[in-house]
Structure 1
Amino acid sequence: MSAILILLPLIFLFLIFRQSGQGWRSGILSTGLAWGTLVVLITELLSMFGWLKFMPLFMVWIIVNIILGLTVGKILRTSQIKLVNWQFDNISVFLKLAIASVAVIILIIGLTAAIAPPNNWDSMTYHMSRVVHWMQNGSVNHYPTSITRQISLGLWSGFAVTNLQILSGGDRLANFVQWVSMVGSIIGISLIAKQLGGGLRSQVFAAVFCATIPMGILQASSTQTDYVGAFWMVAFVYYTLISIQDKKRVSYPLAIGASLGLAVLTKGTAYFYLFPFGLWFGLVSLQQCGWKVWQPFMVIGAIALAINFGHFQRNYEVFGSILGTSGDYKLEVFSIPILISNTIRNIALHLSTSSRDINLLLINGIAAVHQLIGVDINDQRTTFPPGQNFDIHTLINHEDLAGNPIHIILFMGLSILFVIKLPKFPQPQRYYLAIYMLSIIVGFLLFCTLIAWSPWRSRLHLPLFVLSSAFIGVIMDKLLKPKIANSVAIIMIIASLLWLIFNESRPLVFNSKILSENQVNNLWTLSRNDQYFINIPKLQAPYSESVDFILTENCKDVGLILGGDTWEYPFWVLFKQKSDRPITLRHIMINNESAIKAKISPHQDFSPCAIIASGVAEINNPEIIIDQQVYQPQWSKEVVTVFIKHN
């Protein structure tokens, strides 16, 4: 399979970094950063010429493998590389079992990622949809679309999936981008715990905490992007922490710049979550290095900017801002009571239970707090979407809504315990742990200050929970009695089974349908097509039948008139399955900033013979007129209407 060409460099790069003297864990982080930067370089370079197609991509990755392979061959001829330096002889039975449990969790999630297709909401609307648009266009340049998130929001995960999808011929490897990021994050977190003064026991606890985060378990088998962003953030924090602890110089400026650039290119939350760590790093570096700090900082800034330059330029061209469009996510008002409101509501998302009665008690308690501080709990200026009421959902095993109850209680409780027991920690460990903890809290408060609350925000908090794992691992080891700490780890591991096995979107056994409809849905009983629609089964029939109808009309150019949150990707999947020739799909009748791209080839010459309308008022129109060409409705079912060109 051609996709092996993308994966082989991971092995080659790891061997190169191991030979350079890095430990196996830091070597994995460095490998990820180098490979991630390489993906950006190749994708952007080919896009410049419209060559993001199979053969050019195949040839470029062949060249990369030859260069890296020859480099590794030269190394192997002159020296011996030790891949890992694991030593299990002096490890307690409990720690061995804990490490084995983490490995089992990773493997189960990997199995889920291998079997299930991409099927979460954001993937259906924009994560996977933009991948197929880029493949069709041969470029990651912005294109006209009714779903502006496809082009304006962080792209790196899409770059990686696009490379895999072009060379593999399908989306069966798409989920592994998140899964690999989870594995890398767990490894990186154990390293950060070590830098915070934690021994082996602390590092294992950190890995257990990270591997059992419910939202992380659910997302790691999907094509969401929060875990990918978390991995780059872990790498950034690890390398900046090394520099902070280095009294003479800024260490690893290349790695810091790459991790910062990749984090920003992947997820906008990186701006909030990395700011306090970056500020800490900057102040300490200035104190340690004086005016000479500008040299490594220039390298860091140049690398981060270079990685994002293409995306920034495209966003500025279309939206007038390098950040693109943030939609209605921003808070419209700020005050201390508003910050308290947003903080409490965001924390509450992680305290959800499967019991509606318990959730209602929590909702009523939070409403009482809001009355006390004089803030409307449903204030439209701080809530998204408009008209959304504050609520805590019972669907705790869904990747869009799940909370992390055990983990947030542990973080809050152990943070308080750490402050109380602060004098017990020697310097400089006390200092590093305190600032690290504060950086996580400040990152969360920045999020609550700038981003409107919604019921789906818990998934955006994932990087903070991942980063907090290192702190928790050390505190569990240092402040809890061994039996208590072991019991907490065991509880987290056992509790993780709920999210591992009963993932609502990708269930290995069953999901909530067994209670609501007495129906067993899982990855073994549902066809791959059924799994695409598992979150909204009612869409499957109209989507599939509309594609069948268009193909009977012998039409190969299809226009899309879609709402801003409409599922698009399943149309591409179905056309590919059902047609023996390529079908071109493009958005038309655009009324947002991306409309300027409709005037540029190949979009300007596009004349569809059929139009699919969904999620818009046009589905009820008696006709649609485009460039004096009339399209009339010829087929309709529920949320989909097909218009055919009237000759």
Structure 2
Amino acid sequence: MFISTEVFSAFDILSETNICLFWTGTFIILVGYCIWKRVPIRISPLINVLKNIPFSYKILLGFVGVIYILPLFYLAITASPNNIDSINYHLTRVISWLQFHNLYHYPTLHIQQLYHNILGEYWQLHLLSVSPSDSFINLIQFTAVISSTIIVGLIVRFLGYDTLTQILSSVLLISLPIGIFESTSTQIDYLACFYFLAFVYFGLLYSQKLQTSDAIFMALALVFGCFTKYTIFFFALPFCIWFGIKILLNQPVLKSGLILVMIVVFYGIVFTPFFSRNYQLFEHPIHPPSTHILNAENLATEKHGVKFTLGNTLKNLSLHLGFPNENYNKQVANLVQDIHSSLGIDVNDMQLSADKYQVRFVVTEDTVSNLYLFLLIIVSLISFFRVKPQINETLLLICMISGFILFCSFLKFQLWSTRTHIPSFALGCVIIAVTLSKISSKFLYKLTWIGLITSLPFILLNPNKPLVSIRGIVKYALAYPPNFLCIDKNQVATYERDLSGLYDFKNPLPCYKLQKQLGYWDRMKLVSKLDDMGYYNEDKLSIYNISKEQQYFRVTGNQTYKDFMDIYPHINKQDKSIAYMSRLGYFHYWAAYKTLTQKPIDFYYIGYEKAFQVLKNEQRPFVYSCILTNDMNWVKKNVPADSIESIIERPTICLIKLKKPSTNRYIKMY
């Protein structure tokens, strides 16, 4: 998949047709090989294992299969991709690659589309090209979840534990709340976790058996994991040191050196094309430096030391302590702030944090906490050295903790980091299983069931793709009003009139913050009032009564969907391309248009920086007769009034129809 993508790109022939032809030929060759070699399909060992496990464990696996796996699989293949990061850069750049027929950088106003790691998008590119529906690209993360749970069990087996402990460790990982949400999304965090776990597993195998095939898989998993997400560098580094020392002790230095050379060669093959594309535009192999005009963010910490690491570690850990009780969340946040004060650190120091610190309970695909498994990991750490761990278990724990500390030391705190912690939780399930099974297998079995029950709501209540329409009911039962009231512009006056004493309408962030903490009954009244005003109407919908095109806008708001549907009839269906002027991605507009018309239209950014003129994709001509934008001020300043035929303006998006086709890019010359 990686090689074919890069080769097609090098010859400017990256297209859905060529990708389909490639996989058709690959499939025919593989089937022919299997028939020629008479490759057997062996499922009898698995059947024998399942036959021999206790009935209670069969019930557990049956529950997981029916209540967890099947519903998530259904969501993965039916729900429209609508994660906010996917709209802004994951899937938008996949569509851009197909439009330009290569992987080279292109003009954009959302710079993260260019330099964020891209192996996940390679998978999305291929699955989007060969699938009958774009929903199928959700299967990448779903498959990564299933594969990761299997590898966690294999690591437990490697450490010497029985099948039952192996099963429980895998089931614990399936119950991870952020993992449940990620399993049906087009994020790439779980895919990165899969590669990381594969690296750990094959590293353990190679350091013990010294088989070359294990070394190759270890190296490939490490390189592809880092190519999927840079955070894997931090989680994997302690394991690299452990495996490196162990390998040096168990085999000749020359052979160990060859393994190192192999890893370096793999890194060179995989990263060189990507780094060269970055360097051409940014004069830096990884990202635009702070001095570059295209610099968009700086996620690396700018202060280093023990107290800074401790502070950021506490903030990251506290992300998993969020609970649907604001008084509790406030107390946890105050405790962390007090510890920072005692260390002489500003909890919101911009050199250590990318977001303002808070503890919250927000159920989304990016921010949900993992409280139960976090508490189980803490209990396991307390009990770990009391149960006489093996040396491999101890080293695994040390490497797991070290990787997390490295992550907190070199990356700024962000509110959405619960999903980047998945590798630590995956290995945490190993630690939980091997530690608590020594205390009592029955106790571990019961704890696993508790994890499944407490995580069950996350299958049903994904706000991007609700399986059932009970999200509003749950909010009412918990008396949990929104801390930030997010409403359409045309609703502000009504809400301000009725809720001005509760929400701060003078300072939108862009949503309106709850001004004070309320008691349970006051919260109940507020939730009831919001329900009467229709605030929870969207939460009462399910995936069954939301159209496919509307699902794309689920995360951007219903107003965005309404505005696009108002504008859509005015788009000339004969146009092959449309100019796009926004600092956001366009996938939801592109996908909704394709769904409605059954044919695609190319989107191209305009109004970008002069720096992009060094790119060959910038020099490719395109003609458009209308502009889609969310910035009317930009239109008034840049588009000549006498060139405009009409303007269809809505609160979130506007369509500018031109009198005649144009090729003007409106490049910023400063």
Q: How far apart are residue 607 of structure 1 and its match?
A: 3.9
* AA aligned opposite 2:135: R
Instruction: Measure how far apart 1:194 and its partner are.
Output: 0.9
- Distance, in Å, in 2 between the alignment partners of 1:582 and 1:622 is 29
Q: Which of residues 621, 630, 638 is equivalent to 1:624?
A: 638
The structural deviation recorded for 1:56 is 2.0
Q: Which residue of the partner structure matches residue 182 of structure 2?
A: 219
Q: Distance in 2 between matches of 1:149 and 1:518?
A: 33
State the 1:119 CA deviation: 0.9
Report whether the alignment pairs 1:103 with 2:62. no
Q: In structure 1, what is the equivalent of residue 23 of structure 2? A: 61
Shift in Å, 1:344: 0.7
Q: Is the 8 A contact 1:253 1:299 kept in 2?
A: no
Matched, 1:528 2:494: no
> What's the CA shift for 1:272?
0.9
TM-score normalized by the length of structure 2: 0.83
Is the CA contact 1:253–1:300 (under 8 Å) kept in the aligned structure 2? no
Q: Which whole-Å deviations, capped at 9, do the CAs of 1:229-282 have from their partners, x for residues lacking one?
A: 111111111000112223x56662221122122112211111111111111111
More displaced, 148-157 or 92-101?
A: 92-101
Question: Shift of the alpha carbon at 1:632?
Answer: 8.1
Q: Distance in 1 between matches of 2:244 and 2:26?
A: 35
Aligned to 1:36: none
Map 1:523-562 onto structure 2 (within 5 A).
Answer: 523-535=543-555, 536-551=557-572, 555-562=575-582
- Identify if the C-alpha distance between structure 1 residues 357 and 196 changes in structure 2 by more than 3 Å, giving closer, same or farther: same
User: What is aligned with 1:394?
Assistant: 361
SS in 1 for 2:135: coil
**1:93 pairs with one of 50, 55, 58:** 55
1:445 maps to a residue whose letter is: I
Instruction: State whether structure 2 residue 618 is matched by structure 1 residue 605.
Output: no
Q: Is the 8 A contact 1:193 1:206 kept in 2?
A: yes
One-letter code of the match for 2:542?
N
Deviations 1:431-458, CA, capped at 9 Å, x for gaps:
1011111111111111111111121111
CA distance in 2, matches of 1:209, 1:144: 44
CA displacement at 1:643 relative to structure 2: 3.1
User: Structure 1's 499 and 295: CA in aligned 2 closer, same or farther, altered over 3 A?
Assistant: same
Alpha carbons of 1:593 and 1:122: their partners in 2 closer, same or farther (altered >3 Å)? Answer: farther
SS for the counterpart of 1:172 is: helix
Q: Residue 446 of structure 1 aligns to which amino acid in structure 2?
A: L
| Partners of 1:223 and 1:460 in 2: CA distance | 14
- Spell out the pairing of 1:36-55 with structure 2 (5 A cutoff): 39-55=1-17
* Residue in 1 that maps onto 2:435: 475
Alignment check: 8 A CA contact 2:361 2:369 kept: no
Q: Say yes or no: does 1:461 pair with 2:421.
A: yes
Report the alpha carbon displacement of residue 93 of structure 1 after superposing the two structures with TM: 1.9
2:127 alignment partner in structure 1 = 164
1:283 aligned residue: 245
Counterpart secondary structure, 2:134: coil
Secondary structure (helix, strand or coil) at the match of 1:230 reads helix
1:505-554 deviations in Å (ceiling 9; x for gaps): 211113644545343121112222222222222211223333333337x6
**Which range moves more in the overlay, 320-329 or 469-478?**
320-329
**Which residue in the other structure is 1:206 paired with?**
169
Task: Give distance in 2, aligned partners of 1:547 and 1:278.
Answer: 53
Q: Tell me if 1:493 matches 2:452.
A: yes
Give 1:361 shift.
1.7
Deviation sequence 1:139-161 (CA, Å, 0-9, x none): 22221111122121121221122
| Distance in 1 separating the partners of 2:251 and 2:274 | 33
Tell me which residue corresponds to 1:642.
655
> How many percent of aligned residue pairs carry the same amino acid?
24
Distance 1:607 1:81, change over 3 A: closer
C-alpha displacement of 1:488 = 0.5
Query: How far apart, CA to CA, are the structure 1 residues paired with 2:382 and 2:168?
Result: 19
Distance change >3 Å, CA 631–CA 297, structure 1 → 2? farther
What SS class does the counterpart of residue 368 from structure 2 fall into? coil
Partner of residue 257, structure 1: 219
Question: 269-278 or 637-646, which moves further after superposition?
Answer: 637-646
AA aligned to 1:167 is V
CA gap 1:240/1:633 in 2 versus in 1, 3 angstroms: farther
Write the distance in 2 (CA, Å) between the matches of 1:264 and 1:377. 29
Match for 2:7: what amino acid? Answer: L
Shift of the alpha carbon at 1:185?
0.6
Once residues 411 and 322 of structure 1 are traced to their aligned partners in structure 2, the CA distance between those partners, rounded to angstroms, is: 38
The offset of 1:208, in angstroms, is: 1.3
TM-score (norm 1): 0.86
Name the structure 2 match of 1:15: none
The amino acid that maps onto 2:359 is I
Structure 1 residue 329: deviation in Å? 1.4
Once the two structures are TM-superposed, the CA of residue 403 in structure 1 deviates from its matched residue by 0.8
Change (3 A) 1:592 1:364: farther
Q: Secondary structure at the match of 1:197?
A: coil
1:377 aligns with 347
More displaced 10-residue stretch of structure 1: 267-276 or 43-52: 43-52
Q: Secondary structure at the match of 2:422?
A: helix
CA drift at 1:389: 2.6
Amino acid across the alignment from 1:308? F
Counterparts of 1:26-37 in structure 2, within 5 Å, are none
2:81 alignment partner, SS class: coil
Q: 1:304 to 1:93 in 2, by over 3 A?
A: farther
Please point out which of 332, 341, 345 is paired with 2:302.
332
Change in 2 beyond 3 A, CA 1:143/1:602: closer
Q: Given the alignment of the two structures, is residue 189 of structure 1 paired with residue 152 of structure 2, yes or no?
A: yes
Paired residue type of 1:624: N
One-letter code aligned to 1:399: E
Q: Does 1:502 align with 2:461?
A: yes
The Cα shift of 1:571 comes to: 1.4
* Alignment-derived partner of residue 415 in structure 1: 381
Is contact 1:635–1:641 with CA below 8 Å preserved after alignment? yes
Q: 2:335 aligns with which of 365, 379, 398?
A: 365
| CA–CA distance in structure 2, aligned partners of residues 132 and 389 of structure 1 | 33
Instruction: Name the counterpart of 1:10.
Output: none
State how far apart, in whole Å, the 2-side matches of 1:560 and 1:133 are. 12
Query: 1:131 maps to which residue?
Result: 94
Please say if residues 390 and 455 of structure 1, whose CA atoms lie closer than 8 Å, have aligned partners that are also in contact.
yes
In structure 2, C-alpha distance between the alignment counterparts of 1:229 and 1:61, rounded to whole Å: 23
RMSD: 2.4
8 Å Cα contact 1:119-1:532 kept in structure 2? yes
Q: Is the 8 A contact 1:102 1:208 kept in 2?
A: yes
Give the residue type in structure 2 aligned to 1:431: I
Alpha-carbon separation, structure 2, partners of 1:531 and 1:260: 35
Unaligned runs of 5+ in 1: 1-38
SS in 1 for 2:581: strand
CA distance in 2, matches of 1:583, 1:134: 14
Deviates more, 1:575-584 or 1:137-146: 575-584
